[in-house]
Structure 1
Amino acid sequence: MSALPVLESVAEPRPRVSVLLLCFRDADYIRAALDSAFAQTVPCEIIVSNDCSGDGTFEIAEELVAAYRGPHRVHVRKTERNLGVSAHFNDVMALASGEIIVMMAGDDIAYPERVATIVRAFDEHPGATVLGSDFDAIGSHGEPIQVSFRQRPQRYDFDYYVRIGRLIGLLGATMAFRREVYDRFGPLLGPIEDNALSLRGALLGQSLNLRQPLIQYRRHPGSVSGTVFARDEPRALATRRRYERTVQFYRGTADDLEACLRKMPELPRSKRRLAEQVLAMYRIEADAREAILLQPRWRWLGPVLRGLGQRGLRRKSAERALKLLLPRSWFGLR
């Protein structure tokens, strides 16, 4: 946790919702992000945390918070060193006091009704533990853009992951969750937060995806998601970097899910079986991508055969078996 001073604008009583506005290299966007957080119609605790980016983001946020007068309890701080996505999230969670946690990125814009809509959804669905929403995509200058993103069903659990055979959770920038999703299991493992939180939510209850767009989700050069998925890197390197980072991401998510399962001996047997299938899917996919990236072709057979035996991965593994006949360059690797 940062030992740096915290600026605070205090409102009472203590809010039910904590908004975690996490930022890194967002100097061009943090004003719009903070203005949208201040515009929320439900009083919130807003924690603005910069992951030691050194580009002026923290100083801009510090200035805006010092000038803020309104209904929200607002803190601004920065880490003493760069932590990365999950470690930064864990660091800030130690400061949050709300029973509902709302995630926000320093380059996105929340619509004013976002928090109110999230609170109402959790109240109407007491079995839901994690929630996401649709979004409107924008570019660097706020212009509408199209992005490819598979729409989630409105309500889903572990069976959804196995049935569709895709390791995708809710979009982190749209997520909110009940505090127990974190407190029940402790700090996140792995480098990325969204899939781990989605799976924790599935262990404890159900996931919701609201069809209402609640944020403007910004895609731009230098964004965290662009870095994770190598969108901004030269084409010759992008596929390799994406494979390397996905291996780390899948293994970290699997480690987190496995640790959570150990802490839930009371989990019903049917749900545990589904969760273990999802865990196996993450392990197999990580091993398969690592094999394709680094190992001779005969070493690909192990993950392919394991995937063919896994209900959620049969189609993908059959497609991967065909890659045994193709040169690596055909799918972007050297």
Structure 2
Amino acid sequence: MVRKDRTYSYCLLTYNQSKTVAAAVKSALDQDCAAMQIVISDDCSKDDTFSIIQQTVAGYAGPHHVVLNRNQRNLGLAGNIDIVHGLSAGDVIIAAAGDDTSHPSRSRQIMRAFETDDCLLACSRAVVVDPQGVELQGDFHKATFYQGWDLAKVAGSNSLYIGATGAWARELYTKYGAFDPAAYEDLVLGFRAALEGRIAVIDEKLVNYCLGGGITSSADYFDDLHAFKAHRAQSYVVASAIMRQRLKDAQTYGLEASSAVWAVIRKAQTRAAIGLSYYRGTRGDLFLHALRHPFLVLDTVYSERRRCRKMLRRMRKRAGGRQ
């Protein structure tokens, strides 16, 4: 039965985003929808992000109810999300980040999607910009949900939707619980929604999403190969955390361990372990993986070496352009 009585909380998560946070807050206050709660939670920024938030909301007299929070210590993304779940009252969390801006109609369209599709997670497309606000060209909508949500494909995917566009039902969080601190919310909550088979994709660009700022970063923004390699190693830490969480969530849902979905997740776990051994382990670690999974090791090593060569070419091209 489709629910028409859901309540909504727009939750803006911030951390060290003093240059962009005022615009993010203003876009939250400017949402042209029914009155809702707006929770702004700063994760103990080291800069003046929180004071800018306070200045921006001062004197606000619009329809929405604003709640401000500053964590006493840095909790990380997963921890801050857990905080806003405790502070917010809505049945649905409309998520936003301090370096992105939402179009005025975003919340209204998300509300419509939940009311008409009875989804547990809704996402949209986005205008992708660089840290200077210049729109980037390219196909940024190759993520799985923009093509469909076959569960086996979702289980192995490391790109489900543009996370900055997401909104989820509180029950999607409470049923499965808080998630691994190293995991990203879109890759966890998206899988949970796919397990339940209740996803809505709004075919409009409702967010200006900054690529290269915040916790996300494109390969185009690295000028040092060592930093790029550290980034790749960390990506495998994240992948390991995501797959651990997906196995746990599949078990909570009641998915049979013999299903193809479990096999997909376990293979992705193995690849993540191999990738981490490649960047942070010893030759002995990689050799042990090669004994058990020779083709997977060869494929992973080849892929990472190709990435590094591509990164070097980009670095040289940028260096030449600056001369």
Alignment of 1:27-38 (within 5 A): 27-38=18-29
Cα contact 1:158–1:278 (8 A) shared by 2: no
How many angstroms does 1:33 deviate by? 0.9
Deviation per CA, 1:236-259: give whole Å up to 9, x if none. Answer: 213321222112111211222222
Count of residues in Structure 1 that have an aligned counterpart in Structure 2: 301
- AA at the equivalent of 1:242: H
Alignment of 1:239-278 (within 5 A): 239-265=228-254, 267=255, 269=256, 273-278=259-264
Once residues 69 and 186 of structure 2 are traced to their aligned partners in structure 1, the CA distance between those partners, rounded to angstroms, is 22
1:251–1:147 distance in 2 versus 1, CA, 3 Å: same
Alignment of 1:109-148 (within 5 A): 109-126=101-118, 128-146=119-137
Query: Which has more helix, going by share of residues?
Result: 2
How many angstroms does 1:64 deviate by? 2.0
Is 2:65 aligned against 1:73?
A: yes
Identity of aligned residues (%): 25
Instruction: Choose from 290, 293, 300 the match for 1:320.
Output: 300
Deviation per CA, 1:103-127: give whole Å up to 9, x if none. Answer: 101111101110111111122222x
Aligned to 1:282: 268
Cα contact 2:94–2:107 (8 A) shared by 1: yes
| SS, match of residue 194 in structure 1 | helix
Once residues 136 and 311 of structure 2 are traced to their aligned partners in structure 1, the CA distance between those partners, rounded to angstroms, is 26
Cα contact 2:122–2:168 (8 A) shared by 1: yes
Once residues 103 and 329 of structure 1 are traced to their aligned partners in structure 2, the CA distance between those partners, rounded to angstroms, is 33
1:236–1:154 distance in 2 versus 1, CA, 3 Å: closer
- AA at the equivalent of 1:160: K
Cα contact 1:284–1:306 (8 A) shared by 2: no
| SS, match of residue 224 in structure 1 | coil
Which runs of no fewer than 5 residues in structure 2 stay unpaired? 313-323
Q: What is the TM-score when the length of structure 1 is the normalising length?
A: 0.80
- AA at the equivalent of 1:223: G
Deviation per CA, 1:155-202: give whole Å up to 9, x if none. Answer: 41413336xx64322222111111111010111113222211111111
- AA at the equivalent of 1:81: R
- AA at the equivalent of 1:259: K
| SS, match of residue 94 in structure 1 | helix
Once residues 260 and 121 of structure 2 are traced to their aligned partners in structure 1, the CA distance between those partners, rounded to angstroms, is 18
Cα contact 1:154–1:210 (8 A) shared by 2: no
Which runs of no fewer than 5 residues in structure 1 stay unpaired? 1-13, 308-316
- AA at the equivalent of 1:195: L
| SS, match of residue 143 in structure 1 | coil
Aligned to 2:36: 44
How many angstroms does 1:54 deviate by? 2.4
- AA at the equivalent of 1:206: R
| SS, match of residue 44 in structure 2 | coil
Is 2:17 aligned against 1:26?
A: yes
Aligned to 1:160: 153
| SS, match of residue 133 in structure 2 | coil
Cα contact 1:159–1:274 (8 A) shared by 2: yes
1:225–1:302 distance in 2 versus 1, CA, 3 Å: farther
Aligned to 2:226: 237
How many angstroms does 1:330 deviate by? 5.0
Is 2:166 aligned against 1:180?
A: no
Q: What is the TM-score when the length of structure 2 is the normalising length?
A: 0.82
- AA at the equivalent of 1:40: Q
1:281–1:115 distance in 2 versus 1, CA, 3 Å: farther
C-alpha RMSD over aligned residues: 2.9
Once residues 300 and 131 of structure 2 are traced to their aligned partners in structure 1, the CA distance between those partners, rounded to angstroms, is 36
How many angstroms does 1:17 deviate by? 0.9
1:322–1:72 distance in 2 versus 1, CA, 3 Å: closer
Aligned to 2:56: 64
